[in-house]
Amino acid sequence: MNGKHVLKVLSNLITTVLFIVLILTLFLVISTKASGGEASLFGYQLKTVLSGSMEPDIHTGSIISIKAVENPTGFKKGDVITFQTEEDILITHRITEVNDSGNQYITKGDANDAADRDPVNAANIIGTYTGFTIPYVGYVMNFANSSEGAALLLVIPGVFLIIYAGVTIWRALRKIDPVKKEVNTDTK
CATH architecture of 11-161: Ribbon (2.10)
Interatomic CA distance for residues 67 and 182, integer angstroms: 66
pLDDT, average across residues 144-164: 77
Catalytic (active site) residue 147? no
pLDDT, average across residues 65-94: 89
Domain boundaries, the chain: 11-161
pLDDT at 162: 86
Selecting among 51, 53, 101, 147, the annotated active-site residue is: 51
Tell me if the pTM is above 0.75: no
Residues in a beta bridge with 81? 93, 128
pLDDT, average across residues 105-117: 93
Q: How confident is the model at residue 96 (pLDDT cuts 50, 70, 90)?
A: very high
Whether 188 shows a pLDDT value over 60: the answer reads no
Whether 9 shows a pLDDT value over 60: the answer reads yes
- Cβ–Cβ < 8 Å for 94, 109: yes
Q: How many C-beta atoms surround the C-beta of residue 141 within 10 A?
A: 21
pLDDT at 7: 78
pLDDT at 36: 61
pLDDT at 185: 58
pLDDT at 154: 72
Nearest to 75 by CA among 43, 123, 115, 112: 123
Q: What is the DSSP letter of 102?
A: G
Interatomic CA distance for residues 94 and 82, integer angstroms: 9
